[in-house]
Structure 1
Amino acid sequence: MVRHKNRYIVVLITENDTNATKKLHLKPITLSNAIKDTVQQLYGDFGLAAIKAAFTAKYCNELTKIAIIKVRHGPHRFVTSVLPLITSLENKSITINIIHIGATIKQSFKFILEYQERKYYEFVANLKRDEDKKALRESLMDIDDVLTIV
């Protein structure tokens, strides 16, 4: 039996048309289909078959605009090379930046928690009520739905 290594790519998705505090309504399936289509266009059937084995978009946070993409080690280079080329999703002009590539999902979640903690302190500077701060913290640090999938 062969052990297959995976890579977890953490990306930041920003909309070019709107302001930074607006929520991004994006489903993981939409992101994964856009990546598959772009890999198909650039690398053909070989590239698509290479990434398809363990490829999934696992997580999308609306507030921080972070997503996790899981792909096998080796073909992850196809995915990382096409991510900056994706410029629109659901008729929205976007930019995708890779902020972390990890070997385990645990390390990726640790990175996301640290990143979201930094984002929380950026957002909380504009809020005055404690209830708003608490609600923001709960929404930013909500990765429990992903942990149950894993």
Structure 2
Amino acid sequence: MVRLKNRYVLGELILDDGRTATEAKLNTRVTQQAIHTVIKQLHGDFGIGAVTAGFVVKYVGLQTNTVLIKVRHRAIRYLTSSLPFVMSISKVPCCFLTLHVAGTMRACQKFLVKHDRRQLTILFKNSKTQTERNTVLDALKRCQAKETLWVEPKDDSFTDDDDSDEGR
């Protein structure tokens, strides 16, 4: 049996009018249709045939405008070459910025945490008031907490005082 290799593309939707994906009413279905249309225009029937088999928009971040796309390994070039040509999604003018390509969804999540932390440090340096700095610092702390959730335990031993067999 052959293992099917997938690639995950992490990108950012930059909406021209500065709205978020929630305000623009974007979701995975309309985003997938827009990308599908652009691939067909650029690569024709062969490109669509190569991409369609494993092509799924897994996630559209409504507040952060991040998009996670899954595609088969053999079709990654068709997808990544088409993404810069996405000019609108459901009549909302936008452009697509590819942030990262990885072999697993977890690698994309790790990259996104690092990327968000870098963006927050830039925001912290550019903040002018103390309230802005406090808001950015709180976001940085939450970003660090999310990263620790993905850390694997170093040993398999688990001790729980409540489940001990003493007194039974």
TM-score bin (small chain): 0.7 to 0.9
1:23 equivalent to 2:26? Answer: no
Deviation, 1:116, is 2.2
Query: 2:120·2:136 contact (CA, 8 Å) conserved in 1?
Result: no
Shift of 1:16: 1.7
Structure 1 residues 111-122: aligned runs within 5 Å: 111-122=111-122
Between the aligned partners of 2:101 and 2:136, the Cα distance in structure 1 is 32
Q: Letter of the 1:128 partner, please give it.
A: T
SS across alignment from 2:64: coil
Q: Following the alignment from structure 1 to structure 2, what is the Cα–Cα distance between the partners of residues 48 and 137?
A: 43
1:2-50 residue CA offsets vs partner (Å, 9 max, x unmatched): 11111101111101223xxx42222111111111111112222221121
Q: CA deviation at 1:79?
A: 0.6
Q: Distance in 1 between matches of 2:130 and 2:82?
A: 37
Q: Distance in 2 between matches of 1:123 and 1:132?
A: 7
**Alignment partner of 1:128: what SS?**
helix
Contact 1:86–1:96 at 8 Å: present in 2 too?
Answer: yes
Structure 1 residues 101 and 107: CA distance shift in structure 2, 3 A: same
Structure of greater relative contact order (alpha carbons < 8 Å, 6+ residues apart) = 1
Distance 1:71 1:138, change over 3 A: same
Q: CA deviation at 1:93?
A: 1.2
Letter of the structure 1 residue corresponding to residue 10 of structure 2: V
Return the TM-score normalized by structure 2: 0.69
Structure 1 residues 37-46 or 94-103, which shifts more?
37-46
What is the aligned residue count? 138
- Kindly name which structure, 1 or 2, has the bigger radius of gyration based on alpha carbons: 2
